[in-house]
Amino acid sequence: KVSFLLPKLRKVNGKDASSTYSQVENLNRELISRVTAHWEKFMATLGPEEEAEKAQEDFVKSAVRDVRYGPESLSEFTQWRVRMISEELVASSRTQVHEADSPEKPQEAGAAHKPRARLAALKRPDDVPLSLSPSKRVCASPSAQVEGGPMAGSDDGQPLLKLEPLHFLQCHTSAPAPHGLFLSCWGSPGPGPPVCSRQSLCPGDLFLLTPAQEFFSVAWTALMVVTQAGHKKRWSVLAAAGLRGLVRLLHVRAGFCCGVIRAHKKAIATLCFSPAHETHLFTASYDKRIILWDIGMPNQDYEFQASQLLTLDTTSIPLRLCPVASCPDARLLAGCEGGCCCWDVRLDQPQKRRVCEVEFVFSEGSEASGRRVDGLAFVNEDVVASKGSGLGTICLWSWRQTWGGRGSQSTVAVVVLARLQWSPTELAYFSLSTCPDKGIVLCGDEEGNVWLYDVSNILKQPPPPPVPPAHSARGSGALPLALLSPHQILKWPQPWALGQAVTKTMVNTVVANASFTYLTALTDSNIVAIWGRP
């Protein structure tokens, strides 16, 4: 409440309040949209004989009861803000009715009193809704609307990838209907079922419920375990983390939790396993630290005993972790609230606590120095895709060229290869991903759409000339690159769930399998949409 009422406040009780304000700002924007939609739906059901004043009081009560969004830790703020928005809508409605009864007033007066909530409502597609039952699994649906064409700048127009929504999954939840549709799905390690959302983790048919936990991120690893009989067996282990700063290690096939790492005192924003070492796990927290763990091998009781290897300090909250594709055991990239940073993670160095080695800046408009980077992934061993919030672009840049031109600089401008047009939304934390085998970049948006970019032609282009170190800190001086359009946009198919059409959602994360035959979109309405080729 303090951050909302005092937006210019930078510290509360000596603690930085900027990240809290950013979270509250995004939460408030979505609450305005949802309460406005609830208002329009409520007013459409009123009969002409119903008393307006009583109906408006009923609306405020129903909005506080039914409109749910955001983490449980902010539920008190959410209810307080929903009530405030509802009362503003009711007051605005009364003002408009009063002015409608006063013909001597000019028309502009009524327009000046339109509710701010209506102006902030998000646009949504008007597709025909698809059928979705309240159960966890749902059968395939008709093809959804697809927009887009060949990416601008490509020599040959590549055909659209034919994808259609095949299944819709819902995470298990203890919330009663319809509140189960307001749980946000944040993490999925691949195109398969494992999904984390709010208080539950749903790897396939295994259901882990921890009431005091909110899961933000999950990651897979595969271990070769020697059994008591001496046989080698491959274990698939899922790591899940979130609000309480704990990492839970799960043996999914056996269906039990085989270890808990008390990794951080504050919430864990993201985590990932090292591609070079299957037991090495990076965790990134709101305490502005990234820690490298060795989870080891399970003992005879099938329990893990993790050990801490490195601590990496950040100047802002880390949001995305990305081991460098060409040297994953030597360098780690991280997208943070304050920009993009790189660390030396070699274990043969004596220092076990390290600061950022290089900060990368995006000087041509995608991200400036100190601006949030909330999307980060390698497209191949050289090309990196990164995204900052509120600027409508995804940047493709060369790791080799950028790193080779750094010299002794601690701040380096990236060598940009292309800029991809994305949603102009000001909302943050939409995670992008890549399909390296196919040269595809994917990202969701605030309207439930999935943006697809086929950048294989860009990957085939010769690398740009090296940038002298003297120019790397301020940019290469090249002309700004034109924005390239998405190859296509998969529109949100508007399924039905619990007797209502889910027309409003945000796709937080999109992942695809290596052959790009399946695509999984995780939303903030407790729906996981699986797209596939027919």
Give pLDDT tens digits for 490-502.
999 888 766 677 8
Q: If you count them, how many residues does the chain have?
A: 534
Residues of the chain with pLDDT below 50 are: 97-144, 149-156, 174-182, 190-201, 203-209, 211-212, 364-368, 470, 472-477
Three-class SS of residue 469? helix
Residues 6+ apart with CB under 8 A from 280: 273, 274, 292, 293, 294, 295, 309
Output the six-digit token pair for 120. Answer: 């902030």
pLDDT at position 145: 55
Task: Please state at what angle helix 18-44 crosses helix 52-66, rounded to 10 degrees.
Answer: 130
Cβ 274 vs Cβ 328: under 8 Å: yes
Half-sphere exposure of 29 (CA within 13 A, CB side): 14
Who's near 116: CB < 8 A, 6+ residues apart?
A: 32, 88
Alpha carbon distance 409, 411 (integer Å): 5
Distance CA 287, CA 482 (A): 38
Answer whether 0.85 is exceeded by the pTM.
no
Q: Tens digit of pLDDT for each residue in 350-401?
A: 999 999 999 999 864 444 456 899 999 999 999 999 998 557 999 999 999 9
What would the DSSP string read from start to end of 289-343?
A: EEEEEE-----TTS----EEEEEEE-SS-EEEEEE-TT-TTTEEEEEETTEEEEE
Asked if 240 and 234 touch (Cβ cutoff 8 Å), the reply is: no
Residue with tokens 């076990």: 352
Strands (E), 189-231: 195-197, 200-202, 208-209, 215-226
Q: Domain residues of the chain, as ranges?
A: 2-119, 126-194+374-534
Distance CA 529, CA 523 (A): 8
Q: What's the pLDDT score for residue 439?
A: 94
Closest CA to 451 of 382, 387, 504: 387
